[in-house]
Amino acid sequence: MPNAPESSLVGEEYEVEVGPVAHGGHCIARTAEGRVLFVRHTLPGERVVARVTEGEAGSRFLRADAVRILDASKDRIEAPCRFAGPGRCGGCDWQHAKPGAQRRLKADVITEQLQRLAGLTPQEAGWDGTVVPAEGDKLPAGEVPQWRTRVQYAIDPGGRVGLRRHRSHEVEPIDHCMIAAQGVTELGIEKRQWPGMATVEAIAATGSQDRQVVLTPRPGARLPLVELDRPVSVLRVSEKDGSVHRVHGRPFVRERADDRTHRVGNGGFWQVHPKAADTLVRAVMQGLLPRKGDTALDLYCGAGLFAGALADRVGEKGAVLGIESGKRAVEDARHNLADFPRVRIEQGKVESVLPRTGITEVDLVVLDPPRAGAGKQTVHHLAGLGPRRIAYVACDPAALARDLAYFADAGYRVRTLRAFDLFPMTHHVECVAILEPVREGS
């Protein structure tokens, strides 16, 4: 006989002392009975009333929102965004925390993940323990950087613009996103109705005036006539297979980084913060110190940002191989790097393509994997190529720490680690780790 369904605890309230921050934009608390709560909209050290949003009597942990603050942290401020808060927009995690406190929370998460998953202290990882704001983002409490150059708006069944609520498909209607870059806001998407659309993504390129809107219609809906406040190209996502097609205007935007222009087509991946691409290229190149004549790999290379930076620095006698799974991204990378005959771009999954290349040794490696990380197989293959240095760009500290443990098993140690706050108001953080082989006796 099947087990009876567990009884839901959603809506139950607990008065709790809030403990440390955890990975994912929440803090950990325990009820008087010892039940673990993951609580959003709170800060370490606070005393709050937490209302359960997910979980049942038999759950390992419950998710909850702090709905009343009984004893506030000194790092708490009133959320600048009127759409933030329990049950509201899920786009930001730390609107209620001072900017400096947000960066300290992210540093605490990185520290915890490094220790738990890689067995490393900050000192052993060559990290000073700080999360550095991007240029221009160090603002007073209550002011919000307008950094998000790509915003995917959710559209409710009535055609109203909004953003998703936390861990939900429900739409929170909004008329302004505070973290949206000026180039996104000036399109005026939030001021219009979008009947028949499921999502409207706005892209404002960095270093050019290119603006793009990517429309995803609901099943059977017709595209609206797009008339916005600035010139814009329009793409649509196919209902059949999710492919992206041009409606009018260019099918790409031009992004500027490392003194080069990069074509990024069909709403493809590019760093969202306008300072991110240059910040990360600088950190990677400072860590790798490429030499003329070096051979290098750029894995998960996207539109070729790091491959181009490497090609520029290894010179005509060097060579760079990029590997990327996305077909359109590969086309863009080949276009962007056409003036570098020493660069080759291969399409496919890294774990499949890399062994087929026949490469047995390499001087330098850059890898910028998706959120899940590179994984044990790829890490061990890379270590077997004996690179002098490896630059690992990570958008998820847990995946980074897991892969650093694999690298340690394969004979590579972290030389330096740097952390950048390229996603203010959210729990996300970008890291750049530089690895090198463990030498005998070190």
* C-alpha to C-alpha distances, 201 to 281, 333, 349, 391, nearest whole angstrom: 26, 22, 26, 31
Amino acid at 222: R
Nearest to 351 by CA among 335, 336, 372, 329: 372
d(C-alpha 61, C-alpha 389), whole Å = 41
d(C-alpha 334, C-alpha 301), whole Å = 11
d(C-alpha 213, C-alpha 151), whole Å = 10
- Radius of gyration of the chain measured on its C-alpha atoms: 23
CA dihedral for 15, 21, 27, 30, sign (positive or negative)? negative
Active site residue ranges: 395
Long-range contacts of 53-57 (CB under 8 A, 24+ apart): 53/10, 53/87, 53/166, 53/167, 54/10, 54/167, 55/8, 55/9, 55/10, 56/5, 56/6, 56/7, 56/8, 56/9, 57/6, 57/7, 57/9
CB-based contact 348:270 (threshold 8 Å)? no
* DSSP classification of residue 185: H
Residue 136 falls in which region: left (phi positive, over 0), alpha (psi -120 to 50) or beta: left
